[in-house]
Structure 1
């Protein structure tokens, strides 16, 4: 989650299991999805990246692999065998490692109720130009008998930092046409301004509430 996920996303090989969970819930704590999220999330199908960064949604291992955040889906029962095989090969050759990983890789089984199977609706809502328009679009879907993922997205956005949601939306839109260096530079610049309170106190206000927010995050994501 968050920074830990961001570090992993820039690796050449990203293997997940059915026990893996991914999320970028920074806006809920007065921050924004950084560590290059505007780069790797903007490369996902349609506007799925906007959905993940603005809703704080959790993905399981199958969803992570299916959307492209992971390169390989490996059953957890095979991890030890994979580790042993990698030690035996002990080669930096990309083709060799790729071929080895394929031997332990399964096809991810994305459940029917997964938001990733709702890309048409996600694209319709999260392609809007502003956070307000995205929320309004989701609320219209809610009136049509919305699924749980829409209710969860709205709940998250209504309780997150409005400033940080706007920062992320603008950042990911820029990230669609930028390289990783540009995205990381912007992330650093924004983070510095947040720390200096250049445009608000959201991060410090959330941090000052201490244990209450830790409890809220735990209830929301665990």
Structure 2
């Protein structure tokens, strides 16, 4: 799918008949991400070239979407997880519905979310909360935190697509106005984590995972009204891979000061380190516990946050010591629209 999308994006770039790209899923999901168990099987069978090529193509596609000269409209009607979020958020327009559910639950799998560019730019410290806990957000929450640009009820989508199909311009203002005709701004649910921004900003602004958890525990003791939500957040962090948590925190923090290309190059290194299992096999253990055996009882190694040093974390950000391995090479930029230039 990634290879085919790259072909279509490249072919459409120079086609004057193509004004916009409309991307949508086929069924109950927009895209739930790549098949992680396939990655594990290829690693176990020694297919290291495929393991490096897969994230290389995926991250190249994300970059092409981010700098594309024509607006991309992603219709996020259903599940939008892992790679599905990356394949939409980098585009110009993201249309959520009441059926949208997005998340990057990578830390529970021993992975790292390839989301440091856009998670670092969410309001306050909401991106750190979402990235570290893997929290599931609905369509209204996606709109509130800017992961979506519009909210359109699912029954209006056929009419929206008909209107977009008639577009004869790449002017983003015109396209935005068309989508807005079918949009509304619904209210957040009473229990939405977006209502917990004061707690999130207070706790997830801390420098380390240990300090984040400690701050949440202090808030839990003092805040009976939000006790259940705080407790669930603490448990999500404690069940995740300690290594993934520490790497992800640094990645999202670094992403705030980097352009989209730099973020993707760094995330490619991190993904390759994780897949190669050089420093930790948490990825394989997370897949076993959640996707294969499904006992949801991951045995992480190291098992505790305090056993992971700054040097351990920094290794995931370094080039891979292998003469056959290369850094991610991104395609050249040309004819960039203003909204793409802003990402660089």
Shift in Å at residue 55 of structure 1? 1.1
Instruction: Choose from 289, 292, 312 the match for 1:211.
Output: 292
Map 1:64-103 onto structure 2 (within 5 A): 64-103=142-181
Write out aligned runs for 1:117-156 (5 A).
117-144=195-222, 145=224, 146-156=226-236
**Which residue of the partner structure matches residue 220 of structure 1?**
none
- 2:250 — aligned with what? 170
Q: Is the 8 A contact 1:55 1:152 kept in 2?
A: no
Distance 1:141 1:49 in 2: 19
Q: Shift of residue 139 of structure 1?
A: 1.1
Distance 1:59 1:77 in 2: 20
| More divergent stretch after superposition (38-47 vs 148-157) | 148-157
- What is aligned with 1:191? 271
Output the CA distance in 2 between the equivalents of 1:108 and 1:216: 35
Contact 1:66/1:108 (8 A) holds in 2? no
SS across alignment from 2:206: coil
C-alpha distance in structure 2 between counterparts of 1:12 and 1:5, whole Å: 13
TM-fit CA distance, 1:216 = 4.1
Alignment of 1:106-117 (within 5 A): 106-117=184-195
For residues 145-181 of structure 1, the C-alpha deviation after alignment (integer angstroms, 9 at most, x for no partner) is: 2333222211111111000010000001101111001
Measure, in 2, the Cα distance between the counterparts of 1:152 and 1:11.
32
Partner Cα separation in structure 2 for residue 155 and residue 45 of structure 1: 23
TM-score by length of 1: 0.92
Q: Which has the higher contact order (CA 8 A, sep 6+)?
A: 1
Distance in structure 1 (CA, Å) of the matches to 2:164 and 2:264: 31
Q: How many residues align?
A: 214
Separation in 1, partners of 2:200, 2:287: 31
2 CA distance for matches of 1:128 and 1:30?
Answer: 22
Q: What's the counterpart of residue 25 of structure 1?
A: 105
What is the CA distance between 1:90 and its match in structure 2?
4.2
- Give, in angstroms, the shift of residue 212 of structure 1: 2.7
Higher helix share: 1
Which range moved further: 21-30 or 201-210? Answer: 201-210
SS of residue matched to 1:136:
helix
- Per the alignment, residue 42 of structure 2 pairs with none
Aligned-residue RMSD, C-alpha: 1.5
State the distance in 2 between where 1:27 and 1:134 align: 15
TM-score, with structure 2 as normaliser: 0.60
